[in-house]
Amino acid sequence: MEHLVIIGNGIAGITIARNVRKQLDMKITVISSESKYFFSRTALMYIYMGHMKFEDTKPYEDWFWEKNKINLVYAHVDKIDTDNKLLVLNNGETINYDKLVVATGSHSNKFGWPGQDLPGVQGLFTIQDLELLEKNTKDIKHAVIIGGGLVGIELAEMLHSRNIHVTFLIREDYYWNNILPKEDSQLICKEILQNGIDLILKTNLKEILSGKDGRVRAVVTDKGDELECQFVGLTPGVHPNIDVVKDSKIETGRGVLVNEYLETNIPDVYAAGDCIEIKAIREGAPNRLEQLWYTARMHGEALAKTICGNRTKYERGIWFNSAKFFDIEYQTYGFISNVQRAGEKTFFWQDKEMKHAVRIVYKEDDKSIVGVNVFGIRLRHKVFENWIKEKKTVGYVVNNLRRANFDPEFFKKYEPAIIKEFKKQNPEMEESIITEKTFS
C-alpha cells in the first residue's frame, strides 16, 4: 500500500489527510512537533481570554484519527532525503514515504532588533508561544506590541482583557494601511483607542532594554522615546517555515517553491499552506505567498485531488478574508487596494460612531463591482462571490445589500442609510443604475 506522509498537522496538512482518506485507501501519516492533535490556531486568543479551553479548539475528537486510519506522529522531522524517500525524526526514527507533503506553516518575523531575544519578549504563533505568554504576562502592568498586523491587534485585545495596559507601536501612518484604505484603517484606529490602547503611529522599534534581572524593562523607539514595560510582543508578520527543507534537494525561495499544482521540483513531493511560494505563471509577475487559514485549506483541498490521481490546479478564485478588530467584525471580498487604482471608483459609507462601514470599489466604465470591505455588518460570502463573478453593478449591489446581510434579526439595519448616501454621492449616476433591483 502506498504511504502518504504529511509534515505539519495544521489546516493545510489535515485538510489533505482528511480529503485523501475520503477517496483512497492509502496509508496516511501526519507528523507534527507542535501538538499531537490538530487544533484551530485562529482560536488561540480565546484560550488566553478564558472563553475556551485548549480541548475546545480541537475540531475533531481524539478517536477520529484512529477510526479514519490517519496515523499521528508527535515528533520533529530533522531531515528529508528525497533520493531514498526517507524522513529522519528527532527521536532517531526514520519514516519512508511514497508521496510527501510539506505543510510546515510559518515562523514569526524578527528583524534583528537589539534585545529581541530577552526574557519577556516573544511572538505569538504556536501553542508553546501561548504557554510562554501565560508565564511572561503574569502580574505585569504594561506591555508594548510591535507591528500592526492581524496578530498584533489580537494580542492587544488578549492583554487588554487581563487589564494589562498596552502600547501598540506601528510604523505605518494608520493601522494596517498597507492593506486597508485610509478611512477603513482610521475606523480601526478609533476602535483601538476607544478600547484604551495607546497607539503610536509612524514609529519604529530601535531596541529593547533589559533590567537588572535580565528581563525586558523598556523599549526605545526611533524617535528616541523610552517606554517602560514588562513585556514586548513582536508581531511584525510571518515568513514561511522552510527550516527542514533548506538542506534537502527541494527547491526553495522565500518559501517552498511550487507550481500551480502545488508540486515541488522533486517528483512525489508537494507542499501546501503558509510555507509555500507559488511560482508566477505570467512572466514578470511576482511569486505569491499566501498565509491565511482559508488559503491553506484551499491548497489542501486542491492538492488532495492531485494526490488521489486527479491532477488539479490550485485556483484561488475570488479573494475573501475576515477578521475581528476588538468588537468590529471585518469581511473583504474581491480586490480592494489600499490606494485607489486607475479606472476604479469607490463608494464609501460609515455611520457617525465609526463602528459600521461599507466600501464598494467598482469599475468607472461599466460600474461593475471589483470588491467590497465591510465593517460591523455581516455579509454572506456566497452572495458576494456571485455578485463579483456576475459583474453586478454598484447600484445593484447597494440596492440589494439587505439580501446579503445575515446579521441577527434584531440588529439595526443600515441599508436605508447606505442607499441614501449612495444617491447623495452619485447624483450624476443614471437612475437605472442606482435603482437596479432585479435579482437573478
- Give me 6's grid cell: 504529511
Quote the CA–CA distance of 85 and 169 in Å, as a whole number: 46
Q: Using the rule CB under 6 A, which residue among 4, 6, 12, 354 binds ligand FAD? A: 12
Least Å distance, CB 409 to ligand FAD, is 26
Tell me the closest approach of the beta carbon of residue 75 to ligand FAD, in angstroms.
Answer: 7
Query: Residue 32, interface with ligand FAD (CB under 6 A)?
Result: yes
Grid cell locating 266: 522533486
Q: Residue 391 CB, nearest distance to ligand FAD (Å)?
A: 27
Does residue 105 interact with ligand FAD by CB under 6 A? yes
Using the rule CB under 6 A, is 215 a contact of ligand FAD? no
Binding status of residue 87 toward ligand FAD by CB under 6 A: no
54, 294, 319, 326: which one binds ligand FAD (CB under 6 A): 294
Least Cβ distance, residue 359 to ligand FAD (angstroms):
20
Three-state SS string over the chain comes to CCEEEEECCCHHHHHHHHHHHHHCCCEEEEEECCCCCCCCHHHHHHHHCCCCCHHHHCCCCCHHHHHCCEEEEECCEEEEECCCCEEEECCCCEEECCEEEECCCEEECCCCCCCCCCCCEECCCCHHHHHHHHHHCCCCCEEEEECCCHHHHHHHHHHHCCCCEEEEECCCCCCCCCCCCHHHHHHHHHHHHHCCCEEECCCCEEEEEECCCCCEEEEEECCCCEEECCEEEECCCEEECCHHHHCCCCCECCCEEECCCCECCCCCEEECHHHEEECCCCCCCCCEECCCHHHHHHHHHHHHHHHCCCCCCCCCCCCEEEEEECCEEEEEEECCCCCCCCCEEEEEEECCCCCCEEEEEEECCCCEEEEEEEECCCECHHHHHHHHHCCCEHHHHHHCHHHHECCCCCCCCCHHHHHHHHHHHCCCCCHHHHCCCCCC
Taking CB under 6 A as the criterion, the residue among 7, 216, 271, 377 binding ligand FAD is 7
Q: Which stretch binds ligand FAD (CB under 6 A): 56-64, 97-105, 192-200, 262-270?
A: 97-105
Using CB under 6 A, which of 157, 274, 277, 436 touches ligand FAD? Answer: 274
Site stretch for ligand FAD (CB under 6 A), options 101-109, 209-217, 384-392, 424-432: 101-109
- Considering the complex, what minimum distance in angstroms separates the CB of residue 48 from ligand FAD? 10
CB-side neighbour CA atoms (13 Å) of 77 = 31
Beta carbon nearer to ligand FAD, 11 or 192? 11
Number of residues that bind ligand FAD (CB under 6 A): 36
Report if residue 125 touches ligand FAD, rule: CB under 6 A.
yes
Pick 55 or 228: Cβ nearer ligand FAD = 55
88 lies in the site for ligand FAD, by CB under 6 A: no
* 293 belongs to the binding site for ligand FAD (CB under 6 A): yes
User: Residue 292 interacts with ligand FAD (CB under 6 A)?
Assistant: yes
Distance of CA 28 to the CA centre of its chain: 27
Residue 47: alpha-carbon gap to chain centroid: 18
Please say whether the beta carbons of 420 and 355 come within 8 A.
no
Binding string, residues 133-172; x marks residues near ligand FAD by CB under 6 A: -----------------xx--x------------------
Q: Per CB under 6 A, does 110 bind ligand FAD? A: no
By CB under 6 A, what part of segment 34-73 binds ligand FAD?
34, 41-42, 44-45
Interface with ligand FAD includes 252 (CB under 6 A)? no
Q: Is 234 in the site for ligand FAD (CB under 6 A)?
A: no
> Residue 150 Cβ, how far from ligand FAD at the closest point, in Å?
6
Binder of ligand FAD out of 8, 148, 152, 334 (CB under 6 A): 8
Binding residues (CB under 6 A) for ligand FAD: these are 7-13, 31-34, 41-42, 44-45, 76-77, 103-106, 124-125, 150-151, 154, 241, 244, 273-274, 291-294, 296, 323
